[in-house]
Amino acid sequence: MVCTDVDVSRVERLAGGQVPIVEEGLPELVREGLASGRLSFTTDNADAVVHAEFTFLCVPTPQGGDGRADMSFIQAAAGEIGPHLPFESIVVNKSTVPVGSTKVVERALGRPDVSVVSNPEFLREGSAVHDFLNPDRIVIGADDESTAIRVAGLFLRTSAPLVVTDPSTAETIKYASNAFLATKVSFVNAVAAMCEAVGADVRQVVLGMGSDPRIGSDFLRPGPGWGGSCFPKDTAALVRIAEDAGYDFSLLKGVIAVNEEQYQRVAQKAVKLAGGSLQGKTAALWGVTFKARTDDLRSSPSLEVAARLRERGAKIQAYDPTLRASIPGLDVRDDPYTACDGASVLVVGTEWDEFRWLDFDKVGELMVNKAVVDARNLLEPATLRRAGFAYEGIGLV
Ligand code: UDX
């Protein structure tokens, strides 16, 4: 496997066995591949593809200004490799691209002998290696059966169900999957708000609901809203794709609106626990990444909440186990305790396990007001209240 990227320093680090992101199991996998000679890295796109029967396109498709996915990276990559691909080879598109993009890639390649196939990935950050080795389905979208069979041959080692379909359907499966998962999280966040209003406990509600196999208990953890590199851009793109095709996806618009409200709700809780105002006060923030077990800050709900706290006049002292560089607007501290120094409220924004086991008496002594907004329902409310904290989770009584 030859991997190519435009980022020279990234390629150099990977070639030396250094993985530039936090991803469990990935450094071991990369080093194993390098040592066995089965994996190499280059910045020379032509060199990478010239002997490849299969070329995987895994380039980013960020959100453009109008909500549509920005296809410029994928078009540029396809245009560059097109002339160098072997005769009758296959280009497999892993990037999440608008429905119908296979045709766009075909045009950019300019190679009628080369087939383009959609093969979306469903990896979660933080467990990407596990998800890759243990997929729950393989989706192949190809225009003809013989191409689909050749691509399916790459997945013989897995027993996961194989969905072989046309490219547009495969591309829609990816968007619909992410949109549905985002819907589940927004749904539980809305139920949590309802629980607070009527005095119910969302944890018990989820337990009761999730036992029904038609509902399932996965992806029903209330939190500060969903974020990350996929859900925000993919839900926005799907609304746009639908709109462009003449369908008003109002359900998904509602899902996105509930998510925006959630950032605001968490910020309002912090204001309340800080005594009604954050003007000129300090808020501590534990966890900045969009979820635990990753160092990814893209569209992080924690950062969304931090921005809303700043709007209300707060200064933010933040701690995250993976955060090394400073971030504009955040005073990043080296440990969770100093982040609480002089704070009027502590917000738990990411569900890092280590936060559970901290010394809350010490935390309380450092704060000027003992108050915690636990936006991940991570901590034990009784322990916090016993230690003299005002505590608010999400959807708890
Ligand atoms: C997601 C999809 O799960 C994956 O299949 C796809 O390939 C890429 O997008 P990822 O972005 O890694 O993966 O994050 P995920 O674990 O799905 O979480 C997304 C967001 O939802 C995070 O902000 C997370 O904290 C939040 N979330 C998730 C909740 O708030 N509650 C939950 O119950 C689950």
What stretches of 242-281 adopt beta strand conformation (E)? none
Within 8 A by CB and 6+ apart from 157, the residues are: none
Can you give the pLDDT at residue 66? 85
d(CA 54, CA 88): 10
C-beta of 305 in contact with ligand 1 (< 6 A): no
C-beta of 226 in contact with ligand 1 (< 6 A): yes
What tokens appear for 164 in the block? 């072989």
* Closest atom of ligand 1 relative to the 290 alpha carbon: 23
**Ligand 1 center to residue 226 CA distance, Å?**
7
What tokens appear for 71 in the block? 């296809």
C-beta of 228 in contact with ligand 1 (< 6 A): yes
* Closest atom of ligand 1 relative to the 131 alpha carbon: 5
**Ligand 1 center to residue 175 CA distance, Å?**
13
Length of the chain: 397
Within 8 A by CB and 6+ apart from 314, the residues are: 270, 274, 278, 279, 281, 282, 283
* Closest atom of ligand 1 relative to the 301 alpha carbon: 23
**Ligand 1 center to residue 170 CA distance, Å?**
20
Q: How far is CA 292 from CA 295, 297, 349, 353, 357, in A?
A: 8, 11, 10, 8, 15
User: Among all residues, which ones are annotated catalytic?
Assistant: 230
C-beta of 128 in contact with ligand 1 (< 6 A): no
C-beta of 167 in contact with ligand 1 (< 6 A): no
- Atom 16 of ligand 1, nearest CA residue: 124
**Ligand 1 center to residue 43 CA distance, Å?**
31
d(CA 287, CA 268): 18
C-beta of 176 in contact with ligand 1 (< 6 A): no
Question: In the block, which residue shows the tokens 């994996």?
Answer: 39
Can you give the pLDDT at residue 64? 85
Interaxial angle between packed helices 301-311 and 250-273, expressed in degrees from 0 to 180 and rounded to the nearest 10: 50
Do 373 and 345 contact (CB within 8 A), yes or no?
Answer: yes
d(CA 338, CA 17): 34
Measured at the alpha carbon of residue 128, what is the angle toward residues 240 and 207, in degrees to the nearest 5?
A: 80
d(CA 158, CA 288): 35
Check the CA dihedral 298-101-49-156 and report its sign. positive
Can you give the pLDDT at residue 211? 95
Per-residue pLDDT of the chain (397 residues; tens, 9 = 90+): 999 999 999 999 999 999 999 999 999 999 999 999 999 999 999 999 999 999 999 998 888 888 888 899 999 999 999 999 999 999 999 988 888 899 999 999 999 999 999 999 999 999 999 999 999 999 999 999 999 999 999 999 999 999 999 999 999 999 999 999 999 999 999 999 999 999 999 999 999 999 999 999 999 999 999 999 999 999 999 999 999 999 999 999 999 999 999 999 999 999 999 999 999 999 999 999 999 999 999 999 999 999 999 999 999 999 999 997 889 999 999 999 999 999 999 999 999 999 999 999 999 999 999 999 999 999 999 999 999 999 999 999 8
Do 383 and 360 contact (CB within 8 A), yes or no?
Answer: yes
C-beta of 178 in contact with ligand 1 (< 6 A): yes
Check the CA dihedral 34-39-45-46 and report its sign. positive
**Nearest CA-CA partner of 176 in 124, 138, 130, 120:** 120
C-beta of 23 in contact with ligand 1 (< 6 A): no
* Closest atom of ligand 1 relative to the 234 alpha carbon: 9
**Ligand 1 center to residue 339 CA distance, Å?**
26
d(CA 252, CA 180): 9
Can you give the pLDDT at residue 178? 98
**Ligand 1 center to residue 255 CA distance, Å?**
14
Question: In a 3-state reduction of DSSP, which class is residue 190?
Answer: helix
**Nearest CA-CA partner of 373 in 271, 221, 262:** 271
- Atom 25 of ligand 1, nearest CA residue: 291
- The amino acid sitting at 40 is S
* Closest atom of ligand 1 relative to the 218 alpha carbon: 33
**Ligand 1 center to residue 191 CA distance, Å?**
18
Radius of gyration of the chain (CA): 23
Estimate to the nearest angstrom the gap between the alpha carbon of 264 and the chain centroid.
20
Can you give the pLDDT at residue 61? 87
C-beta of 298 in contact with ligand 1 (< 6 A): no
d(CA 112, CA 317): 56
The tens digit of pLDDT for each residue in 262-312 reads 999 999 999 999 999 999 999 999 999 999 999 999 999 999 999 999 999
